Structure 1
Amino acid sequence: MIKKSFSLIFILFCLNAFSQEIIEKNLGSDILRAFRELKIYLPEGYVINNTKNYPLAIVFDSEQLFDAYVGNSVLFAAKDKAPKQIVVGISMKETKKNDTYFDLDTGKLTQSNSNFYEFVRDEVIFYMESTFRTSPFISLIGEGTSANLISHFLKEEKPFINSYVCINPTFSNFVNQEFDSYNLKKFSKEDNTFYLYINNSTSFSTQKQTKIEELQNSLKPLDFKNFNIINDNIVTTSSTSAIGEAIPRSLNQIFQIYSSISKEEFDKNIKDLSPLDAIEYLENKYLEIEFLFGSNLEIRDRDIYAIEKIVIEKENGDKLFELGKMILKRFPSSQLGDYYIGRYYESKKDFKKALRHYKIGYGKMDPSDPNSDKFYENVLRLGSQ
């Protein structure tokens, strides 16, 4: 309880601190023939760093979800668990019935549902991408009937949404058939990464729980490498509490690749790799982060250390040179590239080349870095030989 309260306080603090970054915009829509109110959150540093791009999150039900999503996105970014995001909330206070209420018996969207769908697809996304520095990664977040509408974006012949976050979804009685018609196999042909989050909750009626459970069970057998299905079940007594839990739980899964290498990731994907494969895994992880999130993220030392043991202990450490070369190629400002190349040459008794790389690496370090003295010990040790 204390931990949850602390997180809530932190989120509220973040919202207050960055409230000056929220823009209100009345967007004129040719499709809806009306103006719709948007709230746009620009992350800290957006104005200062004018070359960086950010993932785009589109939040339906702005009055209910926008603040909670922004607060969680700030918290995750502060903890280096997710990239900073541009978040746009669509106001639906007076229009949700027309925008998202559909025929529960048939599952078919009404004409006003289809119009709102096209408004989001053709006007909101276009406005955001043409006005702000967005990366290719797009998330849709909605609750109830809005979550159902989000699921319909899965039917696009050419997928362009990366994460579909369906919180407390209200689906039709034919939702399984609808999902079958979306041909989810098409996602496996795309050179991209996708996420579908659907939560169930003990706070729902028995009928609703059963409907969602049946859909989740039908999705479990699907195994597409780049299409990640996140079936969640939240134990709570109210749908409001479920919303509060679903947002961070979905973020944790969707941006898992952005996070530094966890023990779970290491045990599942890395520990049995050869040194060259481990090096390639690390390089591809950062390439994917850059591609998806537009984040020119400097390599984290702890990610390098995660594969260091494999490279040193397997194949007599002969792949230390390849590790250093990869780091220098992708992250030339990191001293660790020169360190591993220096260590490789030292193991081969080529002390002159080893010393040169140790010196170059030390020159890249801030003198205030607590590790700089230890790094310099390599220079002194070889310099005295």
Structure 2
Amino acid sequence: MKKTILIVLLNAFLCQLFAQITYDEIASSKLNAVRQLKIKLPNDYNPDSEIIHPLIIVFDGDYLFEPVVGQLQFQTYFDDMPSSIVVGVVQANERFYDGYCDEVTGLPKESGLRFHEFVADELIPYLDSEYKTSKFKVAVGHDLMGNFINSYLFKEDPLFDAYVCLSPDLSGTVKDYLGERLEFFKDDIFYYMATSDKDLPGIRDAVIDADGQISQVNNQYLTYYFDDFKNDTHYTLVTSAIARSFDKIFELYKPLREKELEEKVLPYEGTLDKYLVDRYKRIEDLFGIKKPITEEEFDKVVKIAEQREDLESLEKIGKLAKKLDPESLLGTYYLAQYAEKVGKTKKAKKLYESALTLEDVSHINREFIFSKIDELTVVDTDNDEGEEEDDEDN
């Protein structure tokens, strides 16, 4: 019975997923042909909104598009990556010609060069004009096209910010110069590559050699990940590799979790409001999108401040939360806690009372606030003499 229910739910999910996939066509002067595109927009996509989304270009869109979309749906559900626009390039019988490269250099030539220019000069500008795309762009390719996407690394201004090379069929001198090329980037670049112990022998050997080079690169702007899967073939490694690549590429985007709290937030030198501001500024700078700090994340950082006995951070987190959302009681509540902890009971009581006039948050119980007000009311008023009635916004 449970198995039947799971199958029904899975089928319902897949039906919904594929119903949301649309098809488009783009006429290319570079290719002298019309190319079909598969497009999956975010569930919350609104063409009239100011919200923008990273763009993921899937080469081999004939068979690779759906696995990418499925993984995206899964990871965005848990807020592990931003909602993104996925575009699959349908290549079909043109695949060999699209990925045609010089045997010596490994770089596109003839039909491959025309396809390279089509993507850079026609496809990306078209998508940027038609959809709400951010500056962050990801290329995903397998086998022949896993090698092809490396050609964009060798442009003066690389077309993509992240490269997902799934068992790439590295050819020519590209495989010998990948590490050297990645050494010189001065802007953030992500590079992911995967093989497996049951991969095609020639492909596996070249990938292992390339990994040896790239692993030696010392470049603060390069984020490199490599997976060598066990018991997967050239084809079955694809789904695991897509999941791993997205998990790594969008690691910064994920909500604050225990590992980061323990390893980075707890020992942070400075007030914790600055950690939050810097973290989310980095997300905006990197992915070109604005991600709000959630109530849960504020709460987690406040708990770290308490663990550090860091009252200055508690006050500054309160001010930050109030600045970002003045209608929420969150910031005022933290400021009330700060005032209470430093002995300013009159001010704490006023702030708790003020919090009750503001919008609720999920993890703060209003009954608890009422109890704090009652508790502070019975405190001997002599304890409050001389308190500074400074504005909590200062």
Same structural fold, with TM-score higher than 0.5 when normalized by the shorter chain: yes
Taking the aligned partners of 1:375 and 1:147, their CA distance within structure 2 comes to: 57
Shift of 1:120: 0.9
Aligned 1:268-347 pairs, distance under 5 A: 268-276=263-271, 278-314=272-308, 316-347=310-341
Q: Please tell me the residue identity of whatever aligns with 1:29.
A: S
What is the aligned partner in structure 2 of residue 135 from structure 1?
A: 134
Taking the aligned partners of 1:152 and 1:201, their CA distance within structure 2 comes to: 23
What RMSD over aligned residues (CA atoms) do the two structures have, in Å?
A: 2.8
What is the aligned partner in structure 2 of residue 204 from structure 1?
A: 199
Distance 1:294 1:158, change over 3 A: closer
What is the aligned partner in structure 2 of residue 365 from structure 1?
A: 359
Distance 1:244 1:349, change over 3 A: same
1:222 corresponds, among 217, 222, 227, to 217
What is the aligned partner in structure 2 of residue 234 from structure 1?
A: 229
Shift of 1:360: 3.9
Q: What runs of 5+ residues in structure 1 fail to find an aligned partner?
A: none
Q: Which moved more, 1:9-18 or 1:239-248?
A: 9-18
**What TM-score do the two structures reach when normalised by structure 1?**
0.88
Q: Please tell me the residue identity of whatever aligns with 2:229.
A: I
Taking the aligned partners of 2:135 and 2:350, their CA distance within structure 1 comes to: 41
Higher relative contact order (CA 8 A, sep 6+): 1
Taking the aligned partners of 1:259 and 1:144, their CA distance within structure 2 comes to: 29
Work out which of the two has the higher radius of gyration on C-alpha atoms and give 1 or 2: 2
Deviations 1:105-143 (A, max 9, x none): 542322211111111111111111111111111111111
Deviations 1:187-241 (A, max 9, x none): 2x33xx3211101211213332222112112111223333210111111332221
Deviations 1:143-166 (A, max 9, x none): 111111111211222344221111
Q: Please tell me the residue identity of whatever aligns with 1:290.
A: E
Distance 1:364 1:171, change over 3 A: farther
Distance 1:219 1:15, change over 3 A: same
The percent identity for this pair of structures is 28
Contact 1:82 1:255 in 2 (8 A): yes
What is the aligned partner in structure 1 of residue 386 from structure 2?
A: none
Contact 2:330 2:361 in 1 (8 A): no
Taking the aligned partners of 1:122 and 1:378, their CA distance within structure 2 comes to: 63
Distance 1:36 1:316, change over 3 A: closer
Distance 1:296 1:228, change over 3 A: same
What is the aligned partner in structure 1 of residue 82 from structure 2?
A: 83
1:352 corresponds, among 346, 355, 359, to 346
Provide the aligned length of Structure 1 versus Structure 2: 376
What is the aligned partner in structure 2 of residue 121 from structure 1?
A: 120
Contact 1:56 1:138 in 2 (8 A): yes
Q: Please tell me the residue identity of whatever aligns with 1:226.
A: Y
What is the aligned partner in structure 1 of residue 240 from structure 2?
A: 245
**What TM-score do the two structures reach when normalised by structure 2?**
0.86
Q: Please tell me the residue identity of whatever aligns with 1:212.
A: V
